Amino acid sequence: MKKMILKSALLFLFAGMAHSVMAQNAAHAVDRDNMKNQVLLKMNKGGDKYYNTEDLKSIDIEGQDVIVKHKSGDDVFTNMVLDMSFFKADKPAGPTKADLIGTWEVRAQEEHGEESFYITFTEDQLTVAEYGEVQYVAPYTFEDGVLTYTVPSLWGDDPYTEIKNVGLLCDKSVLVLKSQPYEGSDIEEAEVWIKKDKSPDTSDAKLDGKWFCYHRGSKDEVRCGLWINGDKAEFVIGAWATRMVGPYTYENGVLTLHPTEYYWGRDRDDWGYGRIDPATLECSSWDRVSTNPGLIEELTGGGGAYPETFVFFVNGDEAYGWYANQPCRFYKQ
């Protein structure tokens, strides 16, 4: 690992001031972490101190004080710092072909039974299936984290080439395939797959926030939105003009919403977004479906309240999932 050292003449003045009062406040120091960009303060007493540079505003020298200005408060060292060193984070190892090999799947929503969507990799080819039926088999290449393959003609259309960036989450039990952005857009589509017979650990997932999935790379049209706050969630499907609110459960990357309130944002004879703004999912007026038996029967296919279950994996300010048996890439707002 390359180590870059920055030495300040002012810092060395402290080394010769043994007669001065020494003091420190190291409330925000952290352990050494090779995966983070860090600064090391070499101390003449009390042990060396590490800080993650992403958490710092600056490091200032004022007289005999070195002041580490952390986002959460200042750490001050008086006549103690001998040297400063900066460490660049190690680049994490990317996925390998060996990581890909095997079967990755997502279960279809219950109206389509228990058949799964899956993709299987061998050493030199992949197999794609929908609803349990193989759609095609194709050779592939994988190099520097990029998967390339050609989808054959399926229904008389022309073959086309897919180029996807590969990522792995949850200790390599979750596969993310990111497609190239649509022309004129910076929004990428993404698929998420779960390694067959694996149960991804998502116990530390940070779900709270507002998440938007855009339609075909356009921020002018939100396909669906998910609001999560504590133990409550709200799910809006733009093109269906529907809104569901209630408690939810989340385990192994599967989110299940248990709606206690249903709303509709269009008249019964309308289609599409209705009264919903496609760019924000804000609605000029929602109809409370639970007070209208005809609407709730139409919305739920004749049943009452039922859980909405879909795959949802968070990775920083992005999330990847499936809804209505289509892959969704969510962006945190």
Q: Mind listing the pLDDT tens digit for each residue in 178-223?
A: 988 777 777 888 999 999 999 999 998 999 999 999 988 788 999 9
Which residue range is the domain that position 178 belongs to?
93-201
pLDDT tens-digit readout, 119-155: 999 999 999 998 888 999 999 999 999 999 999 988 8
Within 10 angstroms of residue 52's Cβ, the number of other Cβ atoms is 16
**In angstroms, how far is CA 36 from the centroid of its own chain?**
19
Do 209 and 224 have their domain in common? yes
Do 97 and 33 have their domain in common? no
**In angstroms, how far is CA 10 from the centroid of its own chain?**
43
Q: Which residue has the tokens 């897919």?
A: 162
Domain at 121, CATH number: 2.40.128
- Please give the residue that has the higher pLDDT: either 14 or 129: 129
Do 72 and 99 have their domain in common? no
C-beta separation of 95 from 47 below 8 A: no
Picking from 201, 231, 251, the residue at the C-terminal end of a domain is: 201
Do 287 and 185 have their domain in common? no
Beta-bridge partner residues of 227 = 210, 234
Domain at 301, CATH number: 2.40.128.280
- Phi and psi at 288, nearest 5°, equal -75, 105
Hey, what amino acid is at 257? Answer: L
C-beta separation of 146 from 166 below 8 A: yes
Q: Is the pTM of this model over 0.75?
A: no
Do 193 and 277 have their domain in common? no
Do 325 and 210 have their domain in common? yes
C-beta separation of 247 from 302 below 8 A: no
pLDDT tens-digit readout, 78-104: 999 999 999 998 877 789 999 999 999
Q: What is the side-by-side strand order in the sheet with 73-78?
A: 23-24, 73-78, 65-70, 56-62
Do 190 and 101 have their domain in common? yes
